[in-house]
Structure 1
Amino acid sequence: MFNTREVAIRVLSEVQDKGKFSNKALQEYSQIDMSLEDKRLLRELVYGVLENRMYIDNIIKSASNVRMKKIHPMILQILRVGIYQIGFMDRIPAHAAIDESVKLAKKYGHKGTIGYVNGVLRKIDREREKFFLTEIPKNMEELSVRYSHPGFLVDLWIKQFGFEFTKELLKANNTRPLLNIRVNTLKIDRENLLDKLGKYDLQLIRGELSRDCIKVLNPENITDSKEFKEGFFTIQDESSMLVTEISEPKEKDLILDVCSAPGGKATHMAQRMNDKGKIIARDLYTQKIKLIMENCKRLGINIIEGQVYDAGIFDESLRDKVDVCLVDAPCSGFGLLRRKPDIKFNRKSEDLETLVEIQSQILSNSAGYVKSGGKLIYSTCTLNKNENLDQVQNFLIRNPEFMLTPIELPRDIVLSETQKYGYIELYPHIHGTDGFFIAKMTRK
């Protein structure tokens, strides 16, 4: 029988050594018999270590007489979890964190590692002021270590956004976002869903940017609820919901979503169309299309047709036929670091150039699908001008028949001064959403 800290080190090991996403690795251990309090502790330990891994590793390098590469992988995870508890969790006494770490070292190490883990953690606890940084970061390298973001990304953001903006963005990336759910208006309205979910003692807040959004402060087991299984809501960040607000799909429209999985934006558009018209939802893999169609079945949506298709190849059969073409492009995902902190360690600077080329090809193909007067929507869940505004501007130079179109949001919401120019950029530390970019273009 695993205890909570043991599950945490196993999940962290699978994330680092097997390249699994943290949410998927946690899901695999979800069947273990744990109390709600232990499940919360598990998530905090896993995400806390991932969010602060570079910072924690810097402490290990300073406190240990063994080089990082020489530390056994499981012992390294034990140290990380122990240090996180000592330095970041006031409610757990340091002696308890150390004792539990030593017990795990007995199980996963040998006699020498038991004393090593005990000695390193006790040294860090005794000399906290030495090991835990208190000075305000003054340069790129200090920002990178303090907020555990790779140097190439911090450097990129400083160049694009400035030092102070980047510092606040990094801090926000290490906070925990609220779960956002989207009301399925084909089955229920927001107020009635609030009433139904309120019976589960859930703490709920109405989203301010999308009229279909509800934010959940304590979402444990919400997908086990009758309301979820019957398709009254689905999980989607409010930033993604804005794609539908900006696209303004209408009944009887023909919509093409060229990179659709898992189908959140396509199903939201279907809601706004009152399930009348047609949406073609495409993706590269059969399994992803199957997931889209399963979501459609649960939500009671009939107008979506799933197709396995490569967005990088032009489909002549759809030339000049589409009212709205959505390009939710494959991207670096740097806007999702609050939800998927492991992305920080999976992306390399050289990946970005390849992604920009892929996005450019998909955008060029998608332009040919849009009818005269139709809309082309380009969105990403990243914060990188090369993948966002620069990508759109380069596309417009190559395709002068398209133009950016001013964005008007419900209730005259103004998220950014750039709305009047046809695009918006969303940031965790400013808007409280995932980092996101949306551009609205119209074919003349």
Structure 2
Amino acid sequence: MSYNARKIAVEILNSIDESKSFSNIEIKKRVKRVKDIRDENLIRELVYGVLENKLYIDNIIKNYSNTNYKKINNIILQILRIGIYQICFVDNIPDRAACNESVNLTKIFNKKRLSGYVNGILRNVVRNKDKDFLPDKNNNIIDYFSIKYSHPKWIVEKFINDFGEDFTERLLKSNNEKPSLNIRVNKIKINRNNLIEVLSKHGISAEKTKYAQDGLIINNPRNITELTEFKEGYFSIQDESSMLVAQIMNPEEGSTVLDICSGPGGKATHIAEKMKNKGKIISRDIFNHKLDLINKNATRLDIDIIDTENFDGLKLDNKMKEKVDYCLVDAPCSGLGLLRRKPDIRWNKDIKDLNILVEMQLEILKNASQYVKVQGILIYSTCTINKKENLNIINKFLLMNNNYSLEEIKNVEMKSNETLKKGYIELFPNIHGTDGFFIAKLKRNI
């Protein structure tokens, strides 16, 4: 492993802190500078590891640093974070290497005068690995969970209020585990069994997803998007939870579908695959770069029934009233179901944002409901586990729209299917092994 990889990890973490950049964008932009796949993997490990454990790591720094935490140089702070992460969470990097390489980073970033400070803290951490400096769980469970599992206190408090303490602890722990890579089979071109065989010839192990009928779990992902089969549209990368949207919609061939908030098109292209590329899908978004991605993905998958349009879901389109058989509202949301996949969300969101989102979600759903024909289906989905953005929205909508009702979900098999009978599904990483997700199936009766 090279110091260059650790230097890039420091730069990425610094950019995320100072510019509120997204980790996946920063990583994608900067890993182009490395040639060795091991260095690329190390960069991802360090960046995501620090983001997932930031409060825990910073709590250690605060207890060992003679300098006030708020006055620590930001580059030095990132160097300390990746050093402590390696010492406390990574088994295959020796403690001595973590310390020495962190000290070398201070020189690379022209902070040599602080090398003794960095070395002192990290050597102390190595000598006292059994000390975690956590608050007393019995006296302050919110602070304890917040620091131990590195989630902002407002998220911990919200989860405890919604789900209780035991469930919340399992959820927070799950949010810090590495998610599996899932792919969606393009059944227009190939079935799951055949794709498993094709991937095995590339040395890639795959198994079928538990709930999604078109999904595979990739056990040893590496450069999977470089495969000829990906470039020729045999599969797409998509989490199992997202695959359930099209599965629950279950559109018939030849139907007309409207996808209100479609970018980047994962669900729209899946719907097209379900329809065997027969019918019409209108994919709308307010961002042109997302519409470009929809078109690009559709071309790769050999799908030609998707028309993209720049249109704001908060506006009512009178020309579309009662024109579609199926409508999807994959609503803008807080993303609290994606904390294990996108750990920076926990640091970039604020509880104040939630009320604004709830108003927006309800307005988009009200507009969408007017586009559906009588006996048509309206799907509402989010990638959050926040009840205010999910079931509460559906209940408010149904109180205002007695021409709609929840429709039983019959094509998803789960041990506990009480909510499926009621017409919605809640997915949690600690229970289902998927991203946190919510999907409701509504039918227009009159």
Q: How many angstroms does 1:413 deviate by?
A: 3.8
Q: Which amino acid aligns with 1:432?
A: G
For residues 415 and 325 of structure 1, do their structure 2 counterparts lie closer, same or farther at Cα, with a shift above 3 Å needed? Answer: farther
Q: Of 168, 171, 174, which aligns to 1:172?
A: 174
SS at match of 2:341: coil
Q: Which amino acid aligns with 2:124?
A: K
Identify the residue that residue 114 of structure 1 maps to in structure 2: 115
The yes-or-no answer on 1:310 pairing with 2:312 is yes
Identify the residue that residue 82 of structure 2 maps to in structure 1: 81
Q: How many angstroms does 1:211 deviate by?
A: 1.8
CA offset digits 1:260-301 (Å, max 9, x no partner): 011111101101111111000000011110110000000000
Q: How does 1:58-77 map to 2 (within 5 A)?
A: 58-77=59-78
CA distance in 2, matches of 1:84, 1:134: 20
CA distance in 1, matches of 2:117, 2:326: 61
Q: Residue 370 of structure 1 contacts residue 376 of structure 1 at CA under 8 Å; is this kept in 2?
A: yes
Q: How many angstroms does 1:131 deviate by?
A: 3.4
CA distance in 2, matches of 1:39, 1:288: 27
Identify the residue that residue 350 of structure 1 maps to in structure 2: 352
For residues 133 and 88 of structure 1, do their structure 2 counterparts lie closer, same or farther at Cα, with a shift above 3 Å needed? Answer: farther
CA offset digits 1:339-382 (Å, max 9, x no partner): 10000000001011110011011011111111110111000000
* TM-score, normalised by the number of residues in structure 1: 0.97
Q: How many angstroms does 1:110 deviate by?
A: 3.0
CA offset digits 1:317-349 (Å, max 9, x no partner): 110111111000000001011110000000001
Identify the residue that residue 236 of structure 1 maps to in structure 2: 238
Q: Which amino acid aligns with 2:184?
A: R
Q: Which amino acid aligns with 1:443?
A: R
Q: Residue 416 of structure 1 contacts residue 425 of structure 1 at CA under 8 Å; is this kept in 2?
A: no
Q: Residue 380 of structure 1 contacts residue 436 of structure 1 at CA under 8 Å; is this kept in 2?
A: yes
Identify the residue that residue 27 of structure 2 maps to in structure 1: 26
Q: Which amino acid aligns with 1:358?
A: M
Q: Which amino acid aligns with 1:46?
A: V
Q: Residue 62 of structure 1 contacts residue 131 of structure 1 at CA under 8 Å; is this kept in 2?
A: no
Identify the residue that residue 36 of structure 2 maps to in structure 1: 35
Q: How does 1:320-399 map to 2 (within 5 A)?
A: 320-399=322-401
Deviates more, 1:103-112 or 1:19-28: 103-112
Deviates more, 1:122-131 or 1:389-398: 122-131
Q: How many angstroms does 1:109 deviate by?
A: 4.1
The yes-or-no answer on 1:97 pairing with 2:117 is no
Q: Residue 124 of structure 1 contacts residue 131 of structure 1 at CA under 8 Å; is this kept in 2?
A: no
CA offset digits 1:65-95 (Å, max 9, x no partner): 1112211111100000000011111221111
Identity %: 50
CA distance in 2, matches of 1:299, 1:435: 27
SS at match of 1:394: helix
Q: How many angstroms does 1:30 deviate by?
A: 2.6
Identify the residue that residue 148 of structure 2 maps to in structure 1: 146
Q: How many angstroms does 1:42 deviate by?
A: 1.8
Q: How does 1:423-434 map to 2 (within 5 A)?
A: 423-434=424-435
Deviates more, 1:311-320 or 1:208-217: 208-217
Q: Residue 75 of structure 1 contacts residue 109 of structure 1 at CA under 8 Å; is this kept in 2?
A: no
Identify the residue that residue 296 of structure 1 maps to in structure 2: 298
Q: How does 1:408-419 map to 2 (within 5 A)?
A: 408-410=410-412, 412-414=413-415, 416-419=417-420
Q: How many angstroms does 1:208 deviate by?
A: 1.7
Identify the residue that residue 3 of structure 1 maps to in structure 2: 4
Q: Of 256, 259, 279, which aligns to 2:258?
A: 256
Q: How many angstroms does 1:191 deviate by?
A: 1.4
Q: Residue 180 of structure 1 contacts residue 237 of structure 1 at CA under 8 Å; is this kept in 2?
A: yes
CA distance in 1, matches of 2:90, 2:276: 48
For residues 101 and 56 of structure 1, do their structure 2 counterparts lie closer, same or farther at Cα, with a shift above 3 Å needed? Answer: same
For residues 2 and 99 of structure 1, do their structure 2 counterparts lie closer, same or farther at Cα, with a shift above 3 Å needed? Answer: closer
* TM-score, normalised by the number of residues in structure 2: 0.97
Q: How many angstroms does 1:100 deviate by?
A: 0.2
The yes-or-no answer on 1:439 pairing with 2:428 is no
Any stretches of 5+ residues in structure 1 without a counterpart? none
Q: Which amino acid aligns with 2:406?
A: L
SS at match of 1:403: strand
Any stretches of 5+ residues in structure 2 without a counterpart? none
Q: Which amino acid aligns with 1:178?
A: S
Q: Residue 140 of structure 1 contacts residue 154 of structure 1 at CA under 8 Å; is this kept in 2?
A: yes
Identify the residue that residue 407 of structure 1 maps to in structure 2: 409
For residues 185 and 244 of structure 1, do their structure 2 counterparts lie closer, same or farther at Cα, with a shift above 3 Å needed? Answer: same
CA offset digits 1:94-145 (Å, max 9, x no partner): 1110000000011224343111111111111112222365986761110011
CA offset digits 1:225-266 (Å, max 9, x no partner): 101111110111110111111101011111000000111111
How well do the aligned residues superpose, as a CA RMSD in angstroms? Answer: 1.5
Identify the residue that residue 421 of structure 2 maps to in structure 1: 420
Q: Residue 256 of structure 1 contacts residue 279 of structure 1 at CA under 8 Å; is this kept in 2?
A: yes
Provide the aligned length of Structure 1 versus Structure 2. Answer: 443
